[in-house]
Amino acid sequence: MRSRSSLFTRFLVLLTALGLAFAVLTWRLYQSTENAFYSELQSELRGDLDWLAHETEQDPDLLKFPRADSLARAVALFKGYRVTFVAPDGKLIADSHIPRDSLSLVENHALRPEILAARKDGFGTSRRFSRTVGAEMLYVAKALQPKGIVLRMAAGSSTLHHFRNAALHTSLWELALFFLTAAAIAFWISRRISRPLLRLRGEARDVSKPLRWAAPFREAEILNQAFAEYADAVGRLSSGLQQERDRLRAV
């Protein structure tokens, strides 16, 4: 005879399937949350660049070395982002993360994606690996017209990794909580059904008592009604057999 799985196993399989669907949904939500974070971070960097552009407009000498270098380092220290001033020819005027005496050794930035986009549209963004500092960065750049200078700010890998880890941990905790809740629900439901069934099996040994499934479900009442009708049918059949036996004995 083929073995059958328990109610708990069936409920657990069902909830596991739902859990897998929930895991896919969690991953999609994680990606959406990550994209929303990058969007908010870009908005913050754009706001900082607007402020920086306003300050340099009020005092154009802030765009000249060495004041530009001092400004870039001060803003970077306060905000925690990399700050770069790029000249019209692509050379660096200042960079908060590069020593002053090494600026001339840095690769020309004229063809950086965010620089090209900023000179075309006013603002440019790019998320890429920086060969200069050796880390993944999120860049936002703003072109100053008509000077041709580009102001750029970038969030470093530590900021990006911190958010990713926080979002991932949150998603994993949500997934773990779902599976624990699903297992608890499956166990509770299966016990609510299986315990009365086991009790019913024990009561079935006493034929003098009517069978009754004492479970808090509407289906249990339907089954109990079927038990009663079956017992009545068996009683009538037994009575008929008894009468027939008595008749045969009298012959």
E runs forming strands in 104-208: 123-130, 135-143, 150-155
DSSP 62: G
Hey, where are the domains in the chain? Answer: 29-164, 210-251
Name residues whose C-beta falls within 8 Å of residue 211's C-beta, 6 or more positions apart in sequence. Answer: 200, 203, 204, 224, 227, 231
Let me know if domain 29-164 sits in CATH 3.40.50.300.
Answer: no
Specify the pLDDT at position 236.
80
Kind of pairing between the strands at 82-86 and 135-143? unpaired
d(CA 180, CA 69): 55
Q: What is the pLDDT of residues 87-133, one digit of tens each?
A: 999 999 999 999 999 999 999 999 999 999 999 999 999 999 988 87
pLDDT tens readout for residues 176-213: 787 788 778 777 777 777 776 666 666 666 555 666 65
